[in-house]
Chain A
Amino acid sequence: MLTKRIIACLDVKDGVVVKGVKFRGHEPMGSPEELAARYRAQGVDELVFYDIAASAEGRRVPRDWVARTAAFLDIPFCVAGGIRSVADAEELLNAGADKISVNSPALERPALIEELSRRFGAQCVVVGVDSRRENGEWSVYQYTGLVEKTVAAKRRMLDWIAEVQERGAGEVVLNCMDSDGVGGGYDVAQLSKAREILTIPLVASGGAKTVEHFVRVFKEARVDAALAAGAFHRGELEIGALKRELKSQGLEVRP
């Protein structure tokens, strides 16, 4: 049986892993290599590296860095940050990334999703969606890596995820901005709505701090994977212990 995935997310800025609260006030947490090796040893199922300022600064996640990571890591990893074309994606996948994730560039030019999916297959193409509750509905935000550049994308989250699936995305990571860095748990209501629409894998992101948060999002929102950053970086949750606890609560996980 397919296990529920635990994903550690490393938001990288200027070569250092950072963590903010609601996408603001980023604090340094350590080097990407050091954290990646630690989580791999703890049994994390997958890693995501976000070069969070890349899109907003008009550049792309550095190829050399992806190549170094691919050389030592023996579990899957996804990279994100400023991927705007098939050529960008090809360079990073050839450097050893397993998946690439697009967010703001897909909002700028949605056809990018089709181009990537056609060239590399849907399974390589992750679409990250940053969403915030506004006037009674979930709205998509863009350029969230830099506070001063963050803008509303003028799209409803539920419409956008349906569109990215239609265009050939292989997975959606839904970052619930109102929950991010607060430690109050995943936005189960929002993720449940997203789950109803998606037939591709859905990754929950934003708000995890306790084992119970993971149990709820897996059981109630039926997501395929749950991503966390700060709770792991700050040592509030140890991934091995988390997985043992999930198993004891009846969830299928990789030991």
Chain B
Amino acid sequence: MIVIVDTGGANLASVVHALARLGERAQVSGDPARVRAARRVILPGVGAAPEAAKRLAAGGLDDAVRALTVPVLGICLGMQLFFAESDEGPAKGLGLIPGSIRRMAPAGLAVPHMGWNAVARTGASSALLDGVPDGTHFYFVHSYAAPMGAWVEAACDYGGPVPAVVRRANFHGAQFHPERSGDAGARVLRNFLAL
């Protein structure tokens, strides 16, 4: 079973629908037991970090997610929750990746970073981007961003490099929304399901 963790934020439905378009059924759940039993786990996210962090901390969901060994996909805020902490709120993250989520301040550019931006690999490979050429556009919408570091597999440019795909072991994260990024986004979701 694919489990979409109920972080309370909106857009759970978008992810469910995107998987359905790929012929996959997913279950939205906030139950740690279901999360532990899943073969794939998605941590979605639109919303404010403190709300989502509170949901995760309640009932031991955070421990269940942290202990997962199956492939996990964090999307947008879900990806940011992989990190230690966030300025938004502030809020505590899962601490899977070191560093803090900071408010974006690109010189002369609008915040939120909203729209389709070109993504390119920063290293040799990225499993999520398998078959996706560098320069492909994905849909972003966020005001806070992850730090650059060894965990970054791909980035976009918005007044400087912004992490677009991150990975730490089995935890894969996309700052953009694959569920809303047309054909390219569908490819990323298929790549995740094929891991």
Contact = CB atoms under 8 A, between A and B. Distances in A.
Interface of A: 1-5, 40, 45-46, 67, 70-72, 74-76, 90, 93-99, 118-124, 170-171, 198-202, 224-225, 254-255
A75 B115 contact: no
Given A170-B112, A224-B110, A90 B10 contact: yes
B14 A122 contact: no
B10 A171 contact: no
A9 to B, nearest CB: 16
Contacts of B158: 1-2
A254 B117 CA distance: 8
Given A67-B13, A74-B180, A94-B12, A3 B46 contact: no
Given A1-B117, A2-B158, A94-B10, A199 B111 contact: yes
Interface in B118-135: 118
Nearest to B51: A119
Interface residues of B, number: 43
Nearest to B17: A71
B179 interface: yes
Contacts of A74: 18, 21, 179-183, 185-186
Interface stretch (B62-70, B136-144, B166-174): B136-144
Interface string B2-28: 000000011111100110110000000
Nearest to B179: A74
B181 to A, nearest CB: 8
A98 B180 contact: yes
